[in-house]
Amino acid sequence: MNASLRKAFGGLALLLLTGCSDERSQPQALLEEINAAPRKAIPTRPQPPTPAPATYSGKEFRSPFSLPAPKPRARVGPPSNVRPDPVRAREPLERFALGALRLVGFVEQGGTLFALVRPPEGGIARVIVGSYLGKNHGRVARLSEAGLDIVEIVPDGAGAWMERRRHMKPAGDG
């Protein structure tokens, strides 16, 4: 190594060593000043007031978490003689709710008009006036190209039965 290179390395080392002076005295003095300052007490948080116990006085009312008991409807007039026939053999379309059945068309055969009804399980059933369908003892009262007029026998809510009229339109009529 030649002398000029040694001098350059020496100067560089001297320059680096002068950058490493002891500058810890400033932070140390600051810490000592903080530690010497008088300490202030932290105020304690006020305790929240203790709530007064409350007693529930609504025991005679219905719980807000349960459904109200159904009220029996008052019957208007004498009870009707309408009731389903318990010994009548059920027809295949009575297994389905009326809303699940679809009127898909009509066919006339031998002078008799038949309605074509599709149950949810598929297939097609022929229906005439007097046929039963739906879960509420529905009987076809009238059949026309406008649809089926059905009379259902449903509970009236007062322990008896009543007739409810329904209409089933062909599937294409919405």
pLDDT, tens digit, 9 for 90 and up, residues 125-169: 999 999 999 999 999 999 988 899 999 998 887 778 888 999 999
Gap between the Cα atoms of 115 and 119, Å rounded: 13
Mean pLDDT of the chain, nearest integer: 84
Average the pLDDT over 17-45 and give the result.
78
Gap between the Cα atoms of 163 and 150, Å rounded: 10
Gap between the Cα atoms of 162 and 146, Å rounded: 25
Split at pLDDT 50, 70, 90, the class of 57 is confident
* C-alpha pair distances (Å), 45 with each of 39, 42, 48, 51: 18, 9, 9, 18
Gap between the Cα atoms of 131 and 139, Å rounded: 6
- CA 47 to chain centroid: 43
Average the pLDDT over 83-90 and give the result.
89
Task: Select the more confidently predicted residue: 173 or 2.
Answer: 2
Gap between the Cα atoms of 141 and 11, Å rounded: 117
